[in-house]
Homo-oligomer: A and B are copies of this chain.
Amino acid sequence: MNPLSSPLLADLYQFTMLQSYLEQGMQETAVFELFIRKLPPGRNFMVAAGLEQALDFLENLRFSPEELGWLATRFRPSVIDYLEQFRFSGDVHAMPEGTLFFPNEPILRITAPLPQAQLVESRLINLLHFETLIASKAARSVLVAPDKVLVDFGMRRAHGAEAGLLAARASYLAGFSGTATVLAGALYDIPLFGTMAHSYIQAHADETTAFEHFARSNPDNVVLLIDTYDTEAAAGKVVTLAPKLHAAHIDIKGVRLDSGDLAAHARNVRQILDQGGLQSTTIFASGNLDEYRLQTLLSVKAPIDGFGIGTALDISSDAPAFDCAYKLQEYAGKPRRKRSEGKATWPGRKQVYRYYTPQGEISHDIVALEENDSYEGQPLLVPVMQAGQRIHAKIPLYELRQQTLASYTRLPKAMTALDTAPTYPVTISTALQDLAKQLDAEMMAHL
- Bound complex: CA A125 to CA B193 (Å): 19
Q: What residues of B have a CB within 8 angstroms of the CB of A332 in the complex?
A: 203
Q: Out of B26, B163, B443, which one reaches A163, CB within 8 Å?
A: B163
A150 to chain B, nearest CB (A): 16
Assess whether A187 is interfacial by the CB under 8 Å rule.
Answer: yes
- Bound complex: CA A429 to CA B296 (Å): 40
Q: Out of B213, B316, B443, which one reaches A20, CB within 8 Å?
A: B213
Could you give, for residues 309-347 of chain A, a 1 whenever the CB lies within 8 Å of some chain B CB and a 0 otherwise?
001000111001100100110011000111111110000
- Bound complex: CA A341 to CA B153 (Å): 20
Q: What residues of B have a CB within 8 angstroms of the CB of A9 in the complex?
A: 155, 161, 164-165, 181-183
8 Å CB interface, A48-92 against B = 67, 70, 76
Q: How many copies does the complex hold?
A: 2
Q: Out of B114, B196, B203, which one reaches A203, CB within 8 Å?
A: B114
Q: Determine if A16 and B126 form an interchain contact, defined as CB atoms under 8 angstroms apart.
A: no
Q: What is the size, in residues, of chain A's interface with B at 8 Å between Cβ atoms?
A: 106
Assess whether A3 is interfacial by the CB under 8 Å rule.
Answer: yes
| A24 (CB) vs chain B CBs: closest residue | B213
A8-B186, A126-B158 known; A198 and B447 CB under 8 Å?
A: no
Assess whether A166 is interfacial by the CB under 8 Å rule.
Answer: yes
- Bound complex: CA A255 to CA B370 (Å): 36
A182 to chain B, nearest CB (A): 4
Assess whether A242 is interfacial by the CB under 8 Å rule.
Answer: no
Q: What residues of B have a CB within 8 angstroms of the CB of A21 in the complex?
A: 203
4 new A-B contacts, CB < 8 A, other than A32-B199, A123-B161, A133-B159, are: A127-B160, A130-B160, A199-B336, A230-B447
Sample (21) of A-B pairs whose CB atoms are under 8 Å apart:
A11-B180, A11-B182, A11-B194, A12-B181, A13-B195, A15-B194, A16-B218, A17-B196, A17-B214, A21-B203, A23-B213, A70-B186, A121-B197, A126-B158, A157-B321, A198-B327, A198-B340, A199-B328, A203-B332, A203-B336, A315-B321
